Amino acid sequence: MTKDNFDEKRDYEELYEHFNFTADQGQQLLRVDKFLINLMRQTSRTRIQKAAEAGAIRVNGKSVKSNYRVRPGDNVALVLAYPPRVKELLPENLNLDILYSDSDIAVVNKRAGMVVHPSYGHYSGTLVNGLLYEFQSLPEVGDIERPGLVHRIDKDTTGILVVARNEYALAFLANQFAEHSTDREYHAIVWGNLDREHGTIIGHVGRSLRDRKIMAVFPDGNHGKEAITHYKVIERFGFATFVSCRLETGRTHQIRVHFQSIGHSLFGDQTYGGDQIPNIQGYPKFKSFIENCLGICPRQALNARLLGFIHPKTLKNINFEISNPQDIQQVLERFRDYTKNN
């Protein structure tokens, strides 16, 4: 198995619930494979038995063999190593902030808290649901859950995304992202005072070997994929730094995990320690001040503020730029006032 295949395999080690049934109070004792075949008529008994052998059938949260006898009130779940597919994507009016659109592309400013595409646990309210309402149809990207998408940003990251509106634009844009020829700039607030005015963070990014739900940096390159982040200091506050980041690569959680790896987690980042208030001396009432700021921005302070790419039809280089969202701006203003008065 090659290293790339190994990395891809590890990405799917987390188990996802596909079916969940609760036996009613009148349920007679019945083998779990027979119980499931009665409810999943499109699936053969052989496949269900193989799922049990693989530990994929769980009763009340514990793996069972196919001869387990289901009792009244038992919760029976089938879990597999890949997310369940969404059978139908429904258009939803989500009042998207559309910066630009033509017959080939749409450029959207995604707000915080919005998931980009449907996935397990997020079947509605996603950016894709809103895009289908605005544009009716979008080209499929390998599966039904991600029509039109050529890149994405995290749920609690704000900022610019470009979406393809036809098959040609999809292929054209996807090639640019694959070759890392797009121009992407982010603004972020990180904890601590960075040593240099500008720098580059290099380190392979991949699934953590301890927690499959988060990412980690592997400096020796044994795991993950190459990731390069360039940063420049915009403003210093002593206890935190406001930075601009440009990406050469676009790995999952790249900016967040890169800065964590050098001891400067993003402000408010609950996944990578940015929601923990550091013990910094010399600032009066620091803890209560920061608690107030975290209440204003209870997420990673990260905004995809600039995106540049070549238009698939005109072949001209176009750029889109936005201001930082209100929560990040408010935190910066409070940081300025606090440092000025202390």
Cβ–Cβ under 8 Å, residues 302 and 157: yes
Q: How many residues does the chain have?
A: 342
Cα–Cα distance measured from residue 217 to residue 138, given in angstroms and rounded to the nearest whole number: 35
- C-alpha atoms less than 13 angstroms from C-alpha of 195 in its C-beta half-sphere: 6
Q: How far apart are CA 286 and CA 278, in angstroms?
A: 10
- HEC string of the chain equals CCHHHHHHHHHCCCCEEEEEEECCCCCCCEEHHHHHHHHCCCCCHHHHHHHHHCCCEEECCEECCCCCEECCCCEEEEEECCCCCCCCCCCCCCCCEEEEECCCEEEEEECCCCCCCCECCECCCCHHHHHHHHHCCCCCECECCCCCECCCCCCCCEEEEEEECCHHHHHHHHHHHHCCCCEEEEEEEEECCCCCCEEEEECEEEECCCCCCCEEEECCCCCCECCEEEEEEEEECCCEEEEEEEECCCCCCHHHHHHHHCCCCECCCCCCCCCCCCCCCCCCCHHHHHHHHHHHCCCCCEEEEEEEEECCCCCCEEEEECCCCHHHHHHHHHHHHHHHHC
Are 247 and 288 a contacting pair, CB within 8 Å? no
Cα separation, 271 vs 83, whole angstroms: 21
Is 74 noted as a catalytic residue in this protein? no
Among 4, 74, 97, 154, the active-site one is 154
d(CA 269, CA 291): 13
Residues assigned a catalytic role: 154
